[in-house]
Amino acid sequence: MKYIDEFRDQALAAGLARAIAHEAGTGRDYAFMEFCGGHTHTLSRYGIADLLPPTLRMIHGPGCPVCVLPIGRVDMAIRLALSRPEVILCTYGDCLRVPASDGLSLLKAKAHGADVRMVYSTADALALARREPGREVVFFAIGFETTTPPTALVLREAARQGLANFSVICNHVLTPAAIAAILEPPGGNAPQAVQIDGFVGPAHVSTVIGSRPYEAFASTHRKPVVIAGFEPLDVMQAILMLLRQVNTGRAVVENEFTRAVTRDGNLKAQALVAEVFEPRPGFEWRGLGTLPDSALRIRVAFTAWDAEAKFDLGYTPVPDNKACECGAILRGVKSPIDCKLFGTVCTPETPMGSCMVSSEGACAAHYTYGRFRDLPLRASDTATPANQDTA
């Protein structure tokens, strides 16, 4: 398959693995964060971690939009759906299973009588509002800069059509603010939570915002950033580029994903987002706390389609389950196997934390593709069978 097989070529992967091992053979340790959940999925699915030398560690970042959604925002949607029978609450499939307060989730709220529906796109939600003029259709919007333009588009279209029964709960968040929080934890001079030598920059987000927004992090914090696509050779090439920057003392933004990302990004999408949204003064992230200017809210001109204003929805912070390590995993401080719930009571079928919900979550990816690597190797597994000819 053209443009797919080329990025999954085993011979090229083996060559990249050798080059990575050569660059990493300097006697020091390296730690790179893949910010995006899509890269976490690629690393796990294709076993890339097994091809890396022991001196090189990949750290999962907070780049899964479902994972960073705090419980309080899900509670907000559940309260609305349960208390207003006229409301049809729509959202993407992964959001339905995110654990909320009182043992609920949007899916369980549906079992309690709320009209909660999964949609594949924002356009589906808008079309539902047109088909159901006697109901209030509320779209629970999540995501980074990648999914923000489609939400902006339907809000502008709803305004153009005067569609009064459509509104949005906006949970769109911003990538640069999260990277800043990783490098500069809230609290002023607080030490960096985890040592990071560089970042594998997100792919889809960068197609919208371009590579320019990362330049400040690279120069100020002396942390190289390499934007990478989602195929296995993309990620391995990005790791090699990061190693070469570190070894030569450079810290700049490089773009491995040139087939889709430019320095300035999609200017038309950026203009659309700026027309409909503005920065929120503060927004709570799971694992990172409340970060200033880290999310978007709907502009006053579109207040009639802002569900938080329309239904007077208030936000109440809710602490995470004390036994769940999602927050520390999202900060890169812990890995999935450090959580005592991982693989026992918390599985993709019965998620206790958000990182186990989405396929892009660190826990779900490790459970699906890597959990058996955690099992201790028994001597009997490697022993030669007694009846096997060893001659």
Range of the structural domain that residue 329 is part of: 325-368
Do 115 and 163 lie in one domain? The reply is yes
Model pLDDT for residues 285-338, shown as the tens digit of each residue? 998 899 999 999 999 999 999 999 999 999 999 988 888 999 889 888 899 999
Model pLDDT for residues 192-228, shown as the tens digit of each residue? 567 899 999 999 999 999 999 999 889 998 999 999 9
The answer to whether residue 96 is domain-embedded is: yes
Model pLDDT for residues 64-86, shown as the tens digit of each residue? 999 999 999 999 999 999 999 99
Per-residue pLDDT, 188: 45
Using DSSP bridges, classify how beta strands 198-201 and 225-227 pair: parallel, antiparallel or unpaired: parallel
- This prediction's pTM: 0.89
Do 163 and 269 lie in one domain? The reply is yes
Do 171 and 187 lie in one domain? The reply is yes
Do 233 and 361 lie in one domain? The reply is no
The answer to whether residue 255 is domain-embedded is: yes
Q: Averaged in consecutive runs of 10 residues, what is the pLDDT profile of the chain (391 residues)?
A: 84 97 96 93 92 95 91 97 98 94 95 97 97 98 96 98 97 92 64 80 96 92 95 97 98 96 97 98 92 95 98 93 89 90 92 89 91 65 48 34
The answer to whether residue 361 is domain-embedded is: yes
The answer to whether residue 1 is domain-embedded is: no
